Structure 1
Amino acid sequence: MLVVHHLGLSQSERIPWLCEELGIPYALRRTDRDPHSRLAPADYKALHPIGAAPVITDGPLVLAESGAVMDYIIGWHGGGRLALGPDHPDFADYLYWYHFANGTLQPAMGRMMILGRLDLPADHPVPAAMRGRLERALGLVEARLGAEDWLAGAEFTAADIMTVFSLTTMRLFLPFELAPYPAIRGYLRRIGARPAYQRAMRQSDPGLVPMLD
C-alpha cells in the first residue's frame, strides 16, 4: 500500500495532490510541525536518513525527494500519466519547468528566507543579489503563464504540481505579494478550481486556506 507521509505546511503537499490527480489509492499519514521550532518532529525525521519531507513508503520501499517521489508514483502507479514523453512536442518545456521548481524557484525562496532571519543591513549586497534572482525567477514564471495556460504548454502536468507549493504555501515562510504577477494569479485560480487540488489540500492541511491570491 502506498503511504504518503505528509509534514504539515510543507512541499510534501505535492504528493497527495499528485495521487488525487492520478486517482490512485493511497493512505495519508499527516504529521504536524513542532510548535516551537516549526521544524519536523523527531518521529518524522526518523522516517528517512535525510529527515525532510516528503517521504513515501510502498511496501518495503522508503523514498524521499519530491522529484524522485513524483517520478516513482507516475511511473509505478500512474502509468506515466501527467508526464510528457520524448515524442510529445512539449517534452523539453515539461522537463524544464518540472526541474525549475526545485532547481531554481524553491532554492531562491529558501535563500531569501534564511537571509531574512539574519537581520542584515538593508544595503547589504547579498540579500539584494538574492532578491534579484528571485524576482527574475518569478518574472520568468509570469512570462510563461502569460503565454500558456500551464507551465508545460497546453496540458496540465506534474510540472504544475511541482511548482504550485512555491507560489502558495511557501508564502507562509517567505511572504511576498502576487499583485505584480497577474498571470500567476490567474494560473492559481485555475489550480484552485481543480477538484483533485481541493481534495488534497483539505486532507493535507485542513486548517489552511490555500494561498491562491
Structure 2
Amino acid sequence: MIKIHHLEDSRSQRILWLLEELGLDYEVIRYERDPETRLAPDALRAIHPLGKSPILEDGEVIVAETGAIIEYVIDTHGTGQLKPAAGTPEQRAWTYWMHYAEGSAMPPLLMKLVFQMLPQNVNGLMRPLVKAVTSRAQSSFIDPRVKEHIEFWDSSLAPTGWFAGSEFTAADIIMSFPLEAAANRSIAGQYANISGFLTRIHERPAYKRALERGGPYAYA
C-alpha cells in the first residue's frame, strides 16, 4: 500500500487529494510541526535526508517533492486520469504548471511570509528598525512580484476555469496551494477567476475526503 508521510499544514495535503481523486488506497503517517519553530520534526529525516514533506513510499520506491510524486502516481497508478493526452497543447500546459507551481509561484509567497515574520523574532529595541526594513522590501520588491503572479493565475484561468484545458487535472491540484495561500492572506480574493477556482475545488468530494484524512489544514 502507498504510504504518505504527511506534515500538518503543509503542501503534502495535495498528495492526499490526488490519491482521493484516483480512488487509491493509502496510509497517512502524520507529523506535527515544532510549536515554536513551525519546522518539520527530525523524524522525517529517517525517511529522506532533507526531512521535508510530502514523501511517498510505494513498496521499495521512495519519492520526494510534490511535483515528482504527482507524476509518479499518475504514471504508475493513474490509468490515464488527471493528465491530458500526450502531444497536445493541454499536455504541454500541464507540464508547465507542474513545474511552475513550486519553481516560480511559491518563492515570492514564501519570501512575503518570511519578511512578515521577521519583526516578531527580534527583541523590542530592534523591532521598529527591522519592521521598517522588511516593510520597505515588501512594498518595493516582494508585493509587486506577488501581484504579477496573481494576475497571471487569474488570466490563465479565464478561458476554461482550469489550468490545463477544459477539464480538471493534476495541474489544478498542484496549483491549488499557491492560490489558497494567497487567498488566505487576503491578497487574491478580489480576483474573480481565482475565487471561482477555489470554490470549485473546495466543493470536490475528493478534496473534502483528503481534508478528513489529513486533518486541519492552515494554508499559511
Would you call these one fold, judging by a TM-score over 0.5? yes
Q: Does residue 1:41 correspond to 2:41, yes or no?
A: yes
Residues 200 and 67 of structure 1, relative CA distance in 2, 3 Å threshold: same
1:142-161 correspondence to structure 2 within 5 Å: 142-161=154-173
Inter-partner Cα distance in structure 1 for 2:54 and 2:28: 12
Q: After alignment, is 176-185 or 142-151 more displaced? A: 176-185
Deviations 1:71-124 (A, max 9, x none): 111111112421223333412222222222111111121122122233352663
The residue aligned with 2:123 is none
Q: Does residue 1:195 correspond to 2:205, yes or no?
A: yes
Q: Does residue 1:111 correspond to 2:111, yes or no?
A: yes
User: What secondary structure is seen at the aligned counterpart in 1 of 2:133?
Assistant: coil
Measured after TM superposition, the shift of residue 58 of structure 1 is 1.2
- Stretches of 4+ moved more than 6 A in 1? none
Inter-partner Cα distance in structure 1 for 2:78 and 2:137: 46
- How many residue pairs match? The answer is 208
Which sections of structure 2, spanning at least 5 residues, go unmatched?
119-130
Contact 2:6 2:31 in 1 (8 A): yes
Inter-partner Cα distance in structure 1 for 2:149 and 2:79: 32
Larger gyration radius, structure 1 or structure 2: 2
1:127-206 correspondence to structure 2 within 5 Å: 128-168=140-180, 170=181, 175-205=185-215
User: What secondary structure is seen at the aligned counterpart in 1 of 2:12?
Assistant: helix
The residue aligned with 1:50 is 50
Structure ranking higher in helix proportion = 2
Inter-partner Cα distance in structure 2 for 1:123 and 1:13: 31
Say what the alpha-carbon RMSD is for the aligned residues: 2.2
Which sections of structure 1, spanning at least 5 residues, go unmatched?
none
TM-score normalised by structure 1 residue count: 0.88
Contact 2:105 2:178 in 1 (8 A): yes
Inter-partner Cα distance in structure 2 for 1:200 and 1:182: 25
User: What secondary structure is seen at the aligned counterpart in 1 of 2:4?
Assistant: strand
Inter-partner Cα distance in structure 1 for 2:134 and 2:26: 47
Measured after TM superposition, the shift of residue 145 of structure 1 is 1.6
Inter-partner Cα distance in structure 2 for 1:114 and 1:29: 28
User: What secondary structure is seen at the aligned counterpart in 2 of 1:140?
Assistant: helix
Deviations 1:130-186 (A, max 9, x none): 211111001000111222221112011111010111222x359x8233332121011
Q: After alignment, is 31-40 or 155-164 more displaced? A: 31-40
Contact 1:115 1:127 in 2 (8 A): no
Inter-partner Cα distance in structure 1 for 2:100 and 2:139: 21
